[in-house]
Structure 1
């Protein structure tokens, strides 16, 4: 199986490294198409991949073509790309907001996968939600999911609109976690801890809490109850969060992220 990756930014690099480090794909079977300066690619080309700086007929020899460019660059890319791709190939898009219908229309192909990965894919702990056009069969979907899973875990959805929801949850989600961590770090510093101590306190707390959650089948509410004792410190914090309706405000923030994702999708049509 041969794969072409168009675009070598964060996501393009992540997929290339994930495929090869997992030994799912041989380096010789990966073609990289990028507009970056050649010297920059040479400096980070640890796998000795084949870099090309203009689209060419090599794309036609690939089974899967991954589009990892910015959505605003798609219109220009499509005009050149459709000269080299064909109906037997699977096109995998990681471009936010670009619909399957538009990909079909602009590229003149039918086998389309639309995905939404997140930043932790860079360390193999990503979460990717993906959907596909009906032209892909079960075997092809299985291959795509195995490829994506080299960068973490994935969820397949039938409904394309859930990609916008995934953008708001898992795509933007790491920033929400960091936002909450920042609040804890600032509180610790205000209590007299050194910044490095505050960061360690919070980092290990978040890591430990996630470890507990993953190691057991208890819900988040169950764990809140376990940590909170009647009349204790945790109870006071949670009581305040509830009084200030923090949970609902966070949900509303996620809703705004989803609305923005939907808006961006409309603007790229």
Structure 2
């Protein structure tokens, strides 16, 4: 199965390396189209002849085309690749805000997939939510899910509008985690730890907490109660959080991200 990745930036490069590492594609089956020069050091396993800077007939040889360019670059991209595309190809887009309808109409193909990955895909721990046009068969949908699982886990949703919701929750989600971690590290320094010590404390706390939640089947609220004893230190922190309506503020932030995702799609 031939796979073409258009755009060799952070996510495009991640997909290329993940597809090869998972043996989903061989070096002979993987192609890259990138307008900027790509060094052999960036993708040492790829065949140099499979890396292109200009559109050509090789586009039509791909069974799956992954579009990994910035949304603002798509307007210039699709007229350039359109002459080489045919109706049997599957177009998989990871561009934020570009709808299935837009993909199908601009590329003149029925089989389109819209996916929203996140940054941890770079280490095989990503979360990707995806939706597709009804023209894909069950077998093709299964292939796409396996492809996306090469970078972590994936979730298929029938309603495309949930892609915007996923953008707010999991797509932008790592930044929220880093925001909270950064605040905790700063507090640790203020409390007397060195920056390196505070970072170690916070990093291991987040890592251990996530693994614990994954393994024991308890909800976040149940785990919170296990840590927070009545009249204790954790409850004191929660009282401050609740006094500032922190939970509501966090939810409002996600709703703001969702609204912006919808706006970008227009």
**TM-score category, normalised to shorter length:** over 0.9
The answer to whether the aligner puts 1:46 opposite 2:50 as a matched pair is no
Query: How many positions carry a matched residue from both structures?
Result: 264
How far, CA to CA, are the matches of 1:264 and 1:79 in structure 2? Answer: 21
Contact 2:128-2:155 within 8 A present in 1 as well: yes
Deviation at 1:231, TM superposition (A): 1.2
Match of 2:134, SS state, is coil
Counterparts in 2 of 1:1-269, with a 5 A limit? Answer: 1-37=1-37, 40-49=38-47, 50-266=50-266
Deviation at 1:234, TM superposition (A): 0.5
Give runs of ≥4 in structure 1 deviating > 6 Å: none
RMSD: 0.8
Deviation at 1:243, TM superposition (A): 2.1
Residue by residue, what CA displacement relative to the aligned partner does 1:132-157 show, whole Å, maximum 9, x if unpaired?
Answer: 00000110000000000000000000
Contact 2:100-2:113 within 8 A present in 1 as well: yes
How far, CA to CA, are the matches of 2:152 and 2:39 in structure 1? Answer: 25
Match of 2:51, SS state, is strand
Match of 2:4, SS state, is strand
Contact 2:121-2:151 within 8 A present in 1 as well: yes
Residue by residue, what CA displacement relative to the aligned partner does 1:139-189 show, whole Å, maximum 9, x if unpaired?
Answer: 000000000000000000001111110000000000000011011101100
Match of 1:43, SS state, is coil
Deviation at 1:48, TM superposition (A): 2.4
List runs of 5+ in structure 2 lacking aligned partners.
none
Deviation at 1:23, TM superposition (A): 1.2
How far, CA to CA, are the matches of 1:244 and 1:73 in structure 2? Answer: 41
Contact 2:117-2:129 within 8 A present in 1 as well: yes
How far, CA to CA, are the matches of 2:187 and 2:209 in structure 1? Answer: 19
